[in-house]
Amino acid sequence: MDNIAGKRSALTIVTHLSVLLLVIIWLVPTVGLFVSSFRDREQIQETGWWLAPFPVEQAYRVTPELEGVTREGDRWVLEGSLEGAYQGSAVAGFGITSRDPGMGEPGETVARYSVDVEEEDGEIDDTRIEITYPTEEGPSFPESDEDGNRIIPDTEVFDRSLSVTEEGQFRWEDADEITRAPSIYVVAMSPPDFGLGNYRTILSSDNMDRAFINTLTVTIPATVIPILIAAFAAYALAWMDFPGRSWLVAGVVGLLVVPLQLALVPMLTLHNQIGVGQSFLGIWMAHTGFGLPLAVYLLRNYMVGLPRDIIESAKVDGATDFQVFTKIVLPLSFPALASFAIFQFLWTWNDLLVAKVFLPSNSESWVMTVKIADDLLGSRGGDWGILAAAAFVSIAVPLGMFFAMQKYLVRGLLAGSVK
Amino acid sequence: MSPIIQGILTIIIGVGGCITYFYASNWVLDHLIFPARTDDRGRNINRATMVRPWLFLFPAIFALGLYLVYPVVGSFYRSLFNRSGEEFIGLGNYYYLFAEDGFRVAVFNNFLWILFVPAAATFFGLIIAELTDKLSWGNLAKSLIFMPMAISFVGASLIWKFVYANDPDIGIINAVRDSMGLSPIDVLQIPFWNNFFIMFIMVWMQTGFAMVILSAALRGIPEETVEASILDGANPFQIFFRIKVPQIRSTIIVVWTTITFLTLKIFDIVYTMTGGNFDTEILPSYMMDYMFRDDGRATAVAFVIMLIVLPVMIWNIRQAQREA
């Protein structure tokens, strides 16, 4: 028995760990985008979202004011402060080229020299090298340049140099007179920058608010109307006797799986012919038609399971079918109505296909899915902060709905699938 | 603001119209056509009972007929005509499609989707349902895995585009590769396997659905069968695969077919992820390439999708009739 008990606990740990792993895999993508939607767009480019809580090394290009140039020996010198031109407290590195903006660290000097090099074929050429050395020790030169050519000693001619302290005090030395402000590159550790900036941008400048309202406008009528139509039909299919009933039920089951794609061209043509065209009215009608099979199927399945006694005794007491339906069956079917409402709401809110076909293609009528897929992914392709914020603006409502009404959602799924 | 007002009006007109229709039609039936007060009282009540179901059913049958039955015929009819819809070309659109490389790729990928997505989603769903069953935090875990269900296909695609991003400072997959010293790759451009990276998005979204239903089915298994097998010395794996899974076979099939149907409808993911490039096209997204451009070909593609669905649809109807 000890053995079995021991095995059990080992298995339990494995179970815990594997479920944890699966949950992490399932959650990580969403969390990543969610975190990114709050991050500063520059920081998104610099480090992965998994490093979001840590400071980010960010490079800045600074052009200091050209004031107080002095001459020291044969060099021109510009000194001053870079403070305020970069975010964060301390300078972590600096440089004189955009290629390597963090070449030197505070306490060091970055300099450019002209040197003569001996190329592989023995030819002598002049080139420029950039070196870094501790300021106090003075320059020292490598034996070869980046291309592997030997540098001929003592041919170095000073061109320019830069040193920056941690506090942002810089000293720029130049062999020529400084007539234009030099470009200084500074790398600073910026503290994590979280905020609602992306959301503000997307909602104020990108017409996403309009798309949000359009989505809402499409969704609500497209959820309410099919419920009503389907409820009556479901009652008839569940509690009224008439020839051909089982055929109709089978027909609804068949229609459940008819691909939506078939309806696009003929129905759009029809909408154009009867004057509805591509419009909100058209998409409400389309969503109503497409949602009905599931609605009728779910509601009928639920209504069939209601206790026969209640309905029959009401009929014996003289209630008409209409009264039985409105006073007894409809209130009792609330859970099924709720679960279909959630399905239809999620489906219409998240739909891209029907919106692309049945709504006008101008930007005033875009719903959020169309806005993201057809506009933002193209125009804001690499701007992940904006894209993430847009995605979460569109996800927030269904997600809230999902967690608030999960019970009904699960119930509806079970009613539809487990027999 | 006008769409909102239009929307509110539609709700009022739609809901009001429906209620008025149902109420008025029943009233007319009971009071004017077959009044229960005349001499043929009994006969009239019977007749009214015969007509009433159709009053209840009419709006639904009308909408279903218009939006789902008519298009099957209408699409097929339209697919026999050329682009402008004026010239009858018989099966010309189909000949064209079957000769086209893009169509063949789409059909091939579509079968890949039908094979992989339902299988993977059902598999993960089943495993997670079983594993979370005994855990104290199982419901929380299930809730989190179920969550992608609420996300739109476009949103989900965006989420995964972020995961798959080429830049190792953005995409987590390439960040892992980078930390192992490998150069970043764009997984959406690897021939053939890119399909699986796209399909996984669908698996990610549908696993929750499979899990919820299979977990309910697993709980419905009679305790005695499991207890008996424990007494007989079966190990946990044997219990799961030999005792539990066979008992929920019918539910597994339902889940499998439901996800298959859904898979056949989804164009959003491919459209958002690659736009059908890099040989990732599937039929629904392939159809959208022709939508608004050549209705004849678009309807032909749609009808091919219908033909793929048809066998399972017939099987589904048979199953439903057997139960009714």
Angle between helices A2-37 and B138-146 (to 10 degrees): 40
Query: Cβ(A130)–Cβ(A111) under 8 Å?
Result: yes
Are residues B154 and A387, on separate chains, in Cβ contact within 8 Å? no
A136, A124: one domain: yes
How many angstroms away from the CA of A311 is the closest CA of chain B?
16
Residue numbers of A between 57 and 76 with CB closer than 8 Å to B: none
Per-residue confidence band for B270, with pLDDT thresholds at 50, 70 and 90: very high
What are the residues facing B322 on neighbouring strands? none
Best probe of the A interface among B49, B62, B64, by most A CBs < 10 A, is B64
Are residues B271 and A373, on separate chains, in Cβ contact within 8 Å? yes
Best probe of the A interface among B41, B47, B140, B154, by most A CBs < 10 A, is B154
Q: Pick B159's closest partner by Cβ from A256, A288, A391.
A: A391
Best probe of the A interface among B25, B159, B253, B265, by most A CBs < 10 A, is B159
Tokens of residue B119, six digits: 């299988």
Q: Which domain holds residue A123?
A: 56-190
How many angstroms away from the CA of B24 is the closest CA of chain A?
11
Are residues A346 and B295, on separate chains, in Cβ contact within 8 Å? no
Q: How large is the average pLDDT for residues A296-303?
A: 88
Encode pLDDT of A69-79 as tens digits: 888 888 888 88
Query: Cβ(A358)–Cβ(A286) under 8 Å?
Result: yes
Tokens of residue B48, six digits: 């009214």
A63, A36: one domain: no
Which residue from B119, B266, B211 is spatially nearest to A406, judged by alpha carbons? B211
Q: How large is the average pLDDT for residues A274-281?
A: 86
A24, A114: one domain: no
A149, A242: one domain: no
Nearest residue on chain A to B215, judged by CA atoms?
Answer: A414
Cα–Cα dist B253/B248, whole Å: 9
Per-residue confidence band for A106, with pLDDT thresholds at 50, 70 and 90: confident
Per-residue confidence band for A419, with pLDDT thresholds at 50, 70 and 90: very low
pLDDT for A79: 86
pLDDT for A417: 58
Q: How large is the average pLDDT for residues B103-126?
A: 93
pLDDT over 90 (residue A287) = yes
A113, A168: one domain: yes
How many angstroms away from the CA of A51 is the closest CA of chain B?
9
Of residues B305 and B48, more confidently modeled:
B305
pLDDT over 50 (residue B97) = yes
Q: Helix H segments across A241-333? A: 245-256, 261-273, 280-304, 308-316, 321-323, 330-332
Query: Does any CB of chain B come closer than 8 Å to the CB of residue A298?
Result: no
Query: Does any CB of chain A come closer than 8 Å to the CB of residue B255?
Result: yes
Least confident of A20-24, A67-71, B203-207: A67-71
Query: CB-based burial of residue B78 (10 Å sphere; 0-12 exposed, 13-18 middle, 19+ buried)?
Result: buried
A228, A184: one domain: no
Q: How large is the average pLDDT for residues B94-99?
A: 89
Query: Does any CB of chain A come closer than 8 Å to the CB of residue B51?
Result: no
How many angstroms away from the CA of B192 is the closest CA of chain A?
23
A43, A81: one domain: no
Query: Does any CB of chain A come closer than 8 Å to the CB of residue B175?
Result: yes
Q: Pick B71's closest partner by Cβ from A22, A262, A285.
A: A262
The residue whose two tokens read 């479901």 is: A234
Contacts of B202 in chain A (CB under 8 A): none
pLDDT over 90 (residue B313) = no
* Coil vs helix vs strand at A381: coil
Are residues B150 and A395, on separate chains, in Cβ contact within 8 Å? yes
Query: Cβ(B150)–Cβ(A346) under 8 Å?
Result: yes
Cα–Cα dist B205/B147, whole Å: 8
Q: Is the dihedral of CA B243, B245, B249, B254 positive or negative?
A: positive
Are residues B60 and A292, on separate chains, in Cβ contact within 8 Å? yes
Domain boundary among A161, A190, A219: A190
pLDDT for A418: 46
Cα–Cα dist A257/A263, whole Å: 12
Q: How large is the average pLDDT for residues B169-194?
A: 87
Q: ipTM of the assembly?
A: 0.89
pLDDT over 80 (residue B198) = yes
Domain boundary among A138, A169, A190: A190
Best probe of the A interface among B68, B137, B164, B206, by most A CBs < 10 A, is B68
Q: Pick B15's closest partner by Cβ from A228, A267, A419.
A: A228
Q: Pick A229's closest partner by Cβ from B49, B60, B160.
A: B60
Per-residue confidence band for B3, with pLDDT thresholds at 50, 70 and 90: low
pLDDT over 60 (residue A273) = yes
Of residues A398 and A73, more confidently modeled:
A398
Report the residue count for chain A.
419
Query: Cβ(B128)–Cβ(B197) under 8 Å?
Result: no
Q: Pick A417's closest partner by Cβ from B138, B168, B254.
A: B254
Contacts of A18 in chain B (CB under 8 A): 131
Contacts of B267 in chain A (CB under 8 A): 261, 352-353
Angle between helices B101-133 and B193-219 (to 10 degrees): 40
Q: How large is the average pLDDT for residues A323-349?
A: 89
How many angstroms away from the CA of A399 is the closest CA of chain B?
6
Contacts of B324 in chain A (CB under 8 A): 246, 249-250
Residue numbers of B between 83 and 122 with CB closer than 8 Å to A: none
Query: Does any CB of chain B come closer than 8 Å to the CB of residue A269?
Result: yes
The strands making up A56-62's β-sheet, listed across from edge to edge, are A56-62, A184-190, A91-95
Q: Pick B3's closest partner by Cβ from A213, A401, A418.
A: A213
A7, A102: one domain: no
Give exposure, A303-330, as e/b (b: 16+ Cβ within 10 Å).
Answer: beebeeeebeebeeeebbbbebbbebbb
A158, A219: one domain: no
Are residues B305 and A261, on separate chains, in Cβ contact within 8 Å? yes
Per-residue confidence band for A5, with pLDDT thresholds at 50, 70 and 90: very low
pLDDT over 90 (residue A312) = no
User: Which residues are CB-contacts of A364 (< 8 A; sequence separation ≥ 6)?
Assistant: A210
pLDDT for B2: 67
Cα–Cα dist A271/A289, whole Å: 13
Per-residue confidence band for A8, with pLDDT thresholds at 50, 70 and 90: low
pLDDT for A7: 56
Residue numbers of A between 349 and 388 with CB closer than 8 Å to B: 349-353, 356-357, 365, 369, 372-373, 377, 384, 387-388
Of residues A167 and B287, more confidently modeled:
B287
Query: Does any CB of chain A come closer than 8 Å to the CB of residue B321?
Result: yes
A254, A360: one domain: yes
C-alpha pair distances (Å), B161 with each of A37, A347, A396, A399, B275: 14, 22, 19, 20, 13
Per-residue confidence band for A56, with pLDDT thresholds at 50, 70 and 90: confident
Give exposure, A366-387, as e/b (b: 16+ Cβ within 10 Å).
Answer: bbbbbbbbbbbbeebeebbbbb
Query: Widest CA span of chain B, in angstroms?
Result: 94
Encode pLDDT of A376-391 as tens digits: 887 777 788 888 999 9
A46, A97: one domain: no
Domain count of the fold of chain A: 3
How many angstroms away from the CA of B170 is the closest CA of chain A?
5
Cα–Cα dist A224/A222, whole Å: 6
pLDDT over 70 (residue A4) = no
A257, A369: one domain: yes
Query: Does any CB of chain A come closer than 8 Å to the CB of residue B25?
Result: no
